[in-house]
Amino acid sequence: MIKKAKVIAGICLMGQSLIFFVLFIAYWNRSRSLAKTLAVFSAVGGVSGALLVLSELREKKLSESINRDFEAMDEMFDEDFANAEDVSCSFGENE
C-alpha cells in the first residue's frame, strides 16, 4: 500500500510542477508577480517527485533481482539433491 502511495505522490508532484511552470511562464513579464516563487516551487516539486518515482523503481528492480537469485539458488539446491537416494535420514536408529 505504501509503495503505491509513493508512486502516486511522485506523479502528483511532477504534475503540480508542470502546472507551476506554466503559471511561471504566464506571469514572467509582469511586475511584482509571483513568477520566481512559482519557478522555485516548480523545480522543487519536479525534483522531489522524480526522486520518489525513481527510488520506487530502484527498489522494485532490486527486489526482482533478489527474487531471481533465490529462484536460481533453489534450482541449484534441487539439482544437487535430486539423486539423494543413498542418504539415510534415520538419525542413528536401526533400519
Residue 88 lies in a domain: no
State how far the Cα of 35 lies from the Cα of 28, in Å rounded to an integer. 6
Instruction: Supply the pTM of this predicted model.
Output: 0.63
**Band of pLDDT at residue 81, cut at 50, 70 and 90:** low
86 within domain boundaries? no
Structural domain span for residue 24: 2-78
Higher pLDDT, 11 or 61: 11
Given a cut of 70, whether residue 10 has pLDDT beyond it is: yes
In a domain, 24, yes or no: yes
Task: Tell me how far apart the alpha carbons of residues 51 and 49 are, in angstroms, rounded to a whole number.
Answer: 5
